[in-house]
Structure 1
């Protein structure tokens, strides 16, 4: 690397991203012996401000577009920007690295709470169930706190024991942003121009319709006959941010995930399409005949449930693999409680960078939240039901068991790909809970509402686990105090839950989430509408696709027996191919960069610069995603046009419309080549 990359000696250690050798220890950027400002008025106020702002934004965007927004990366950029502003204009000191981590820990709860609550709770309004502000507010709040207490015992396992074995793409990108902002110089310049490049690229493409957002063989005329007959389609998203994720992820996990997509789209979808010609009627209740369904409908109705079953089975296998860790953590927690009950003195704390909430506090926290959930269920929805206490106990037990099974899965998924299949796991939660409670006699609107409350708590807990494991890793690399991260997430959940609930109720009143006389043009809210449809089906007698779940479970188990990550493979089966194929392209670029020179030092320097560029791609894509969503919100509200539409530019627009599929592929490959070329320009530090 160039000499200014080591300004003030501030850089990630050489062994930050690789597995440690025997006897080797990782030393964070901020050593354990130092105690720089971490929890300050600046970090707390900034964190809460961004938590509220991004909670409101993420809630609306999820309801409007059906997807969450990345809040951790924009908040880290804003934290670094405020530090620069404080020095240049306020004549104050710069923020420390650990202050920025604390801002991130509090502010990032916005994406956690929005992602966990918005995908479930609007279904309350879609199903026309009676509810209140506090009833909705408590769901994400209890779920977020439960996620902290459930994941905390696995912190050392994920960040220390698996060091260098999982890529942590989002954590890597965020850490590079914080480091580059503090260090300045060459690294900051690389991160800045790569983020600007990605922002322009992702804005001109998807937002301005400069080219197809997804390259697909389904739109190639010469393949129409093949696509119509066999329903085998290859697709690739052309977003710079996804390529950046692939570069950081590496070829191993990217290839496994892509293999799962290939099985789904190039084997199972064509197989169902082939069987459709022999099955004239509908297979699933309410679905059209199989032979008439396009490939994407076959995937959504028949193949995606196979992926959900695979994720569930892989989660069970992961729990079994981690059983020694679980046993050790539980034994330690009970040991600490027993020691305190006997009047023993408080044990000496470990070094600062390993100082987390005591295991006894985790266990007591789980117990306290469990009791809160029990009383919430018992005296909320189930108050007027027969055997209300029994039903509340069963609902609470289902919440705890499912959260326990899936929390490690969510963390593992984020550590691998920075995407967690929360919607699939929540869908499974709703189905299992609905079937269980229906068998106990709970039915009608009370049954639907109770199932949604369980699903909302579980969904938010899993969202928290995915974000918290990222923050743990960032803190591990930089030297933050784990206990500070944990407490900040708990406190941030309060503000984020308030903001998210207020926006949900406001949007329900102003726009609605399903067509009605009062709301003829409602917000799409795709996930909540899907959850509502599932509940109508289960309580209406349609049942769940258990056969598909079992097939997925068998596939995941077979893949694990071959020594391959069943979770990564099942995620590939569950996620659309267009999101997985660009990961392989980005990972391939990283593979070639690492082998671009016979000099190991030069290859390493080039790969590190490529990681910085990829982090900029992720940051730029995240920022432009937020910007585009806000611009579309203003367009819809004020009925104005702010985003230029290339497809409307006369003859040029017609050309883009006709060739946009190929243009998207061409510019995406050109961007990949540019990433390789720029990374290979790096020279070894003298």
Structure 2
């Protein structure tokens, strides 16, 4: 292993600048709530979340430097540290907690209340921070130059670039405004459809693509390659498997369906066949993909755990830039959280369950923190860790006699906490890497992480209850794909209710894709999601490809698309509020004004054009600068 690389932070240890201020804390809390809510909405729609660190850094620059005229880079860093916690809490929440709502609708479990969701999110988030703090010296300091932490390093570069005046915040805010406007036109005023659909009668299916800005933004950020993998999974499901079932099924009744295939197609079309059969194949593919990614990472996981624990007790210097939160404080936080999980009656976790959380939680926090340093947050197999956790803990609960509604609820609660531990630990390590490069005070950042976790946890319950009340988890508007998968896994182990033939077909599809050397998870997610979502993501990826071919892909395009995601998420929450209070019908003017399919196409072309212009913006600015010299 390489020797520890000597590091000189941007702000020297002996220099004291504003960092943990009222302004930075309040701004960070607002961003934690905003990005947490936006990512919750996005994740419940398509099963994906987008890192909030860089957009939060850009917005913090715009607020701290642009509006408030303050010049402390560490203050801006504190804003993004607190703000980025919202995304990690949202990711952990939407992966698992909606399963409790789905069981409640089936009448097998009580509805989770605001307090229960808050406590699960808070406990998982606090443990994620507490488990990561003792590892900072081993992972961030001792292995600087070994572990690159891609997002953390990129975030530091963005903040350093902001020393020139907060450049880039305008791209984020303009994206937010445009996405909110399109969302209002399609889902609020309803004067244009949110999707384009073309029947393909010869194959008894259809091609469909949504025009929502967030999906196009996701495709642009992911790039053409990852988007094409997802789209390939969608094509396999909708143009191979659905036609095979619809054409050859005839009058056969296939489990878990209860009517003949021909009747199912006549009444519900290709979507009914997808819902009854393909989503189970997709679930098997996603589960297999998550486990495969986890198995492939095992050598790295064990070496990561060993190296991290080896440096666990090492201490840094006494300088400002090496001062961590006291280990006794983190131990007390962890102990209080464990007691709360055990004793609070609304969360059915036994003493053995809390022990399971401590062991698996610390293990996966260590793994997540180190793997994030190697491959980045986007490639960190948190879903695979959650699937592995659910399989093991559900089996143990069943063997111990804790079955039925209580056993399944306990399994999801344990899985939720561990999922958040892994997600928050990875985010915390990225933020601490940014602070290490800039010269931030670790203890202040760590307190900021705790504040961000608390703020996001306090908001996420209200957001989830609101979205469920407006559209319902499991509906077409909010499919909650990851949570539905986790629910099926728990039920499959606990009750044996899964159509295992379909699930194993998905498993072997995933294994075939893996043997071809293609990343299996994007393809599996594409098979699991409706085609209209993956097609929209593919369009965004193609826009990115076109921009790169014209050498016009820039950070402005990424920031603009991040704004599209945030803007649509916030607009979606606003529309959910209007739906809950019965106001949504009052703003629906579709009977008075309708743009039809032509208007939908115009909106799609306009969004693509704006994304391309945003991607070209930075290059055009650079060309003008070069010409003036």
* Range into which the TM-score falls when normalised by the shorter chain: 0.7 to 0.9
2:231 paired with 1:265: no
1:599 is aligned to none
Once the 2 structures are TM-superposed, how far is the Cα of residue 390 of structure 1 from its aligned partner? 5.7
CA distance, structure 2, for counterparts of residue 31 and residue 78 of structure 1: 21
Change (3 A) 1:616 1:182: farther
2:302 is aligned to 327
Equivalent pair of 2:242/2:270 in contact (CA under 8 Å): yes
Once the 2 structures are TM-superposed, how far is the Cα of residue 58 of structure 1 from its aligned partner? 6.4
CA distance, structure 1, for counterparts of residue 59 and residue 455 of structure 2: 19
Query: 222, 230, 245: which is aligned to 2:204?
Result: 230
Offset from partner CA, 1:230-281 (integer Å, 9 cap, x none): 32x3333323343344334333333333323322332233333344326x22
Once the 2 structures are TM-superposed, how far is the Cα of residue 94 of structure 1 from its aligned partner? 0.8
1:559 is aligned to 513
Once the 2 structures are TM-superposed, how far is the Cα of residue 412 of structure 1 from its aligned partner? 9.8
2:255 is aligned to 283
CA distance, structure 2, for counterparts of residue 676 and residue 62 of structure 1: 22
2:78 paired with 1:102: yes
- TM-score of the two chains, using structure 1 as the length reference: 0.68
CA distance, structure 1, for counterparts of residue 501 and residue 362 of structure 2: 25
Q: Which moved more, 1:197-206 or 1:296-305?
A: 197-206
Query: 304, 307, 332: which is aligned to 2:282?
Result: 307
Equivalent pair of 2:82/2:452 in contact (CA under 8 Å): yes
Equivalent pair of 2:284/2:506 in contact (CA under 8 Å): yes
CA distance, structure 1, for counterparts of residue 112 and residue 189 of structure 2: 40
Change (3 A) 1:144 1:107: same
2:115 paired with 1:119: no
RMSD after superposition: 5.5
CA distance, structure 1, for counterparts of residue 6 and residue 503 of structure 2: 41
Change (3 A) 1:150 1:537: same
Task: State the secondary structure of the residue aligned to 2:253.
Answer: coil
Offset from partner CA, 1:300-328 (integer Å, 9 cap, x none): 44333333333333334433444444334
Equivalent pair of 2:121/2:457 in contact (CA under 8 Å): yes
2:567 paired with 1:623: yes
2:540 is aligned to 586
Once the 2 structures are TM-superposed, how far is the Cα of residue 86 of structure 1 from its aligned partner? 6.0
Once the 2 structures are TM-superposed, how far is the Cα of residue 619 of structure 1 from its aligned partner? 0.8
2:119 is aligned to 138
1:42 is aligned to 22
Equivalent pair of 1:144/1:460 in contact (CA under 8 Å): yes
Query: 197, 220, 224: which is aligned to 1:216?
Result: 197
Change (3 A) 1:243 1:541: closer
CA distance, structure 2, for counterparts of residue 253 and residue 427 of structure 1: 22
CA distance, structure 2, for counterparts of residue 312 and residue 350 of structure 1: 46
1:657 is aligned to 596
CA distance, structure 1, for counterparts of residue 260 and residue 143 of structure 2: 45
Correspondences of 1:364-513 after superposition (within 5 Å): 369=334, 373=338, 376-377=341-342, 380=345, 415-416=377-378, 433-434=393-394, 436-461=396-421, 463-464=423-424, 467-468=427-428, 471=431, 485-500=445-460
1:13 is aligned to none
1:647 is aligned to 590
Structure 1 residue runs of 5 or longer lacking an equivalent are: 1-24, 88-92, 516-521, 597-602
Equivalent pair of 2:543/2:608 in contact (CA under 8 Å): no
CA distance, structure 2, for counterparts of residue 289 and residue 158 of structure 1: 61
Task: State the secondary structure of the residue aligned to 1:40.
Answer: coil
Equivalent pair of 2:176/2:563 in contact (CA under 8 Å): yes
Task: State the secondary structure of the residue aligned to 2:452.
Answer: helix
Once the 2 structures are TM-superposed, how far is the Cα of residue 612 of structure 1 from its aligned partner? 0.3
Offset from partner CA, 1:176-202 (integer Å, 9 cap, x none): 986786534875566655654455445
Change (3 A) 1:245 1:381: closer
Change (3 A) 1:160 1:216: farther
Correspondences of 1:240-255 after superposition (within 5 Å): 240-255=213-228
Equivalent pair of 2:190/2:590 in contact (CA under 8 Å): yes
Offset from partner CA, 1:199-218 (integer Å, 9 cap, x none): 54454345443433222324
Once the 2 structures are TM-superposed, how far is the Cα of residue 143 of structure 1 from its aligned partner? 1.8
Task: State the secondary structure of the residue aligned to 1:234.
Answer: strand
CA distance, structure 1, for counterparts of residue 367 and residue 166 of structure 2: 45
Change (3 A) 1:430 1:661: farther
Aligned length: 606
Equivalent pair of 1:176/1:612 in contact (CA under 8 Å): no
- TM-score of the two chains, using structure 2 as the length reference: 0.73
1:297 is aligned to 272
Once the 2 structures are TM-superposed, how far is the Cα of residue 370 of structure 1 from its aligned partner? 8.9
CA distance, structure 2, for counterparts of residue 673 and residue 561 of structure 1: 36
1:346 is aligned to 315
2:516 paired with 1:550: no
CA distance, structure 1, for counterparts of residue 207 and residue 492 of structure 2: 33
